[in-house]
Structure 1
């Protein structure tokens, strides 16, 4: 039985919550034959052991649920973690993010801003001293700017 990407994502998200992890992103490539899962956990870094634990759990879950795939990859999202949900923006208030908008705002589509707040479907950012309010649906892509 072939499951839709949304169904697989919901299945993975529930399983990860049960294990104490957070689903950051799920990608399907090669016509759905490769599934990449990016995980995180509040308050801690993801280790190789975490990835192995999740990989084994998901492999068994996919077998039981009939998810059709050839290869599963599980990893951390990296230092430039993607921000997709309002909860992601809330969690990283105070951090800088590289943001790409679907449509230009004040003549700009790409910028780096400091995350100030997130509520409902809106996020507030500080862009060069000016506070902007953005709707999450208008954001094509957002990633944390790594701090070294």
Structure 2
């Protein structure tokens, strides 16, 4: 990415940060790159954690739903159209939440993923797979399942987490379906 694209992305990031705050979202990243005769503007948004109690380090944070991303897209599009940040050249706007392929690099990323299964490569090269059960200002606690099915807790500082990646789970424990009332009637 060129220096002018970096400067433009930084300017857009600064402008959009206050705009998406009204939706209780934060801008995680902005990239601007050439795409033929246009430019591609990618904006990653995620849930703002400011509403969480600072002492709450274990509750799960719901991921963004499609309606929230659509609301953010409309707001960001309107904001870019009304500013001169993109100049006169046409652009394509893509707004999404960070996917599971994006490594966790900031404490807020780990906090948003409490309850999720992750692969961690430590700074010493150790490979761990476990569920984040807590994330605070200093690090995380992982529930790791050992060879014989025994679970143990591992505490890691953020500095010890050289690379952390969320695993895709199709049947996450926090998304279990309640079949207690099969007849569909509410009590």
Distance in 1 (CA, whole Å) between partners of 2:31 and 2:167 is 19
**Which structure would you say has the larger RCO, counting Cα contacts within 8 Å and 6 or more residues apart?**
1
**Contact preservation (8 Å) 2:120, 2:161:** no
**What is the root-mean-square deviation of aligned Cα atoms in Å?**
3.5
How far has the Cα of 1:133 moved from its partner? 1.0
For residue 14 of structure 1, the aligned residue among 1, 13, 18 is 18
What's the secondary structure of 1:19's corresponding residue?
coil
The count of corresponding residues between Structure 1 and Structure 2 is 142
Distance in 2 (CA, whole Å) between partners of 1:118 and 1:44 is 16
**Contact preservation (8 Å) 1:39, 1:46:** no
Tell me the residue number matched to 2:45: 39
Question: Greater CA radius of gyration, 1 or 2?
Answer: 2
Higher strand share: 1
Distance 1:12 1:147, change over 3 A: farther
Distance 1:140 1:58, change over 3 A: same
The TM-score with structure 1 as length reference comes to 0.66
The TM-score with structure 2 as length reference comes to 0.56
